[in-house]
Amino acid sequence: MANKGRVFSGARPTGRQHIGNYLGAIKNYVDMQADYDCVYCIVDLHALTTLETTRDLRGNTLEMAWDWLAAGIDPAKSIVFVQSMVRQVTELHTILSMVTPLGKLTDLPTFKEKVRENPHNINYGLVGYPVLMAADIVLYKTNFVPVGVDQSPHIEFTRETVRSFNFRYNTTALIEPQAKFTNFPKVMGIDGVNKMSKSLNNDIEIAATAEETSKLVMQMVTDPQRLRRNDPGNPDVCNVYALHKIFTKPEDVESINVECRRAGIGCVDCKKKLAANMNEYFAPIRERREEIAKHEDTTWDMLRDGAKRASEIAESTMVEVRKAIDLPEM
Can you give the pLDDT at residue 2?
47
Q: Can you say whether residue 48 is alpha, beta or left, with left for phi > 0 and alpha for psi between -120 and 50 degrees? A: alpha
Q: How does pLDDT run across 65-75, given as a tens digit for each residue?
A: 999 999 999 99
Return the percentage of the chain with pLDDT > 90, whole number.
81
More confidently predicted of 153 and 196: 196
Question: Which CATH superfamily groups domain 210-290?
Answer: Tyrosyl-Transfer RNA Synthetase (1.10.240.10)
Indicate the fold that domain 6-187+295-325 takes in CATH.
Rossmann fold (3.40.50)
DSSP E strand boundaries for 71-195: 79-82, 144-147, 178-181
Number of CB atoms found within 10 A of residue 323's CB: 13
Residue 149 pLDDT: 74
Model confidence pLDDT, tens digit, residues 260-300: 999 999 999 999 999 999 999 999 999 999 999 999 999 99
Instruction: Give residue limits of the domains in the chain.
Output: 6-187+295-325, 210-290
pTM over cut 0.85: yes
